[in-house]
Amino acid sequence: MAELMTAPERAKRGKIARQTLALEEHARVDGAAVDVLAVLRADDRGRIPELVPVRHGRMLASPFAYYRGSAAVMAADLAAVPSSGLRAQLCGDAHLSNFGVYSTPERRLVFDVNDFDETLPGPFEWDVKRLAASIALVGRANGHRRRERELAQLATVAMYRQSMRRFAKMGNLAVWYASLDVDRAMAELAPKITAADRRRTRARLDRARTRDNADALRKLTRTAGGHARFIHDPPLIVPLAELLTDVEATSVRATLLDILRAYRGTLVEDRRRLLDQFELVDIARKVVGVGSVGTRAWVLLFRGRDDNDALVLQAKEARSSVLEPYCGRSEYVNAGHRVVVGQRVMQAASDIFLGWERHPGIDAEVRDFYVRQLRDGKASADVEDMNTRRLEVYGELCAWTLARAHARSGDRFAIAAYLGKTDAFERAVSQFAEAYADRTESQYRALHDAAERGTVPAVTGI
């Protein structure tokens, strides 16, 4: 093993980086905005053509919805300004709705980052800026005044800075084991929110605890011939047998079985043995998210002991990260492998069935996939219904989680030293957030106008 730098030596790197790029410089939104329509057209390449208008329609729901689907645009914008040079494993799409709760293998409900399609090592501040700008957009949508949004942004980024400094004082194992247990967090946050907000949050957490394979079975399947099969609800979910001809369906089923056999090899031995106790009984294509619409996502229904003992996995296409043109190509040849490694590095605990595979589809294009359970206590907050206090508290939860993820993968000593003891970083990022929200709203209008002209196909309401 190579000799490691000491903590003081690593902290010195952060102080040198601050001399190169002052904290106040993070307020900058430089240059002209990128051609949003050109970036989106490039991002649409390779997606399922009939679903591209659905993707655009979902992005047109609001400026924040557009923001959720335009990580590629922001990556280009962020690359136009100087960076700190201090890298960590990035989420790559760290907006408010990409955090949430899920069940760990030990059946604890934890709060964490929950989307990793764009994960890649890069400048740590890119995630922080994307999170802060999402607060600006959500706050505007919710009718919060500029000062109220600013307070939420400052509190969020301050939590990131202060948490990173605390992680820099902890041992390596303590950082790795750190997690945000939901029940403990609720007890600590109770004094900060109203009784009505506590009840609302508790109700949402109770619903999350019921979001398991049994819940997926109830909502996504019907009984046919005495057995559970996926429902037909186009274009959101379409069973394989109704999506393709018999010949094509047979080919896709064979392809997915090959994917599953190879995917099995990416699991540790005990999970392989568990997977082997289930039989694949049905397959459907599912539309997911906003930015992911049009990429290939299959849901796979497995039967265990009987039809009531179900497992629902999602095999989702993984493409190159939108960060790669600016942060360098991933070290992993398989994009699914990139996603899985990024998730395992950033999350406190990951799905027991998380794995990856590569295989050609019926169009002969080689595609990468990652596989995970469709639901396992997973739920995200309804951020577009948050009052100012809830938005501030939720932003702090996201910021602590992001700092923990970056501390696991990046040089926490250097990042903490770079951020320093003052509020200069949070003030700069808050200024950036509002300026970038202005740019996002302008980009949203450009997409809206293009859809009105018919130059961008869009189907709304799906």
Q: Which residues contact 366 (CB under 8 A, 6 or more apart)?
A: 358, 359, 360
Q: Is the pLDDT of residue 367 over 60?
A: yes
Instruction: For residue 146, count CB atoms less than 10 angstroms from its CB and return exposed for 0-12, middle for 13-18, buried for 19 or more.
Output: exposed
Q: Which residues contact 53 (CB under 8 A, 6 or more apart)?
A: 457, 458, 459
Tens of pLDDT along 304-314?
998 889 999 99
Assign 206 a pLDDT band (cuts: 50, 70, 90): low
Contact 92, 118 (CB under 8 A): yes
pLDDT of residue 230: 94
Residue type for position 387:
N
Q: Where are the beta strands (DSSP E) in 24-98?
A: 87-90
What is the average pLDDT score of the chain? Answer: 91
Place of tokens 């307070």: 151
Tens of pLDDT along 294-333?
999 999 999 999 888 999 999 999 999 999 999 999 999 9
DSSP conformation class of 293:
B
Tens of pLDDT along 138-194?
999 999 999 999 999 999 999 999 999 999 999 999 999 999 888 877 777 667 777
Give the mean model confidence (pLDDT) for residues 108-134. Answer: 96
Ramachandran area for residue 441 (φ above 0: left; ψ -120 to 50: alpha; else beta): alpha
Q: Is the pLDDT of residue 271 over 70?
A: yes
Dig out the tokens for 142 from the structure.
């919710």
Q: Is the pLDDT of residue 203 over 80?
A: no
- pLDDT higher for 258 or 127? 127
Q: Which residues pair with 448 in a beta bridge?
A: none
Contact 192, 389 (CB under 8 A): yes
Domain-wise residue ranges, the chain:
7-205+383-453, 213-373
For the chain, how far is it from start to end, CA to CA, in angstroms?
A: 53
Tens of pLDDT along 405-435?
999 999 999 999 999 999 999 999 999 999 9
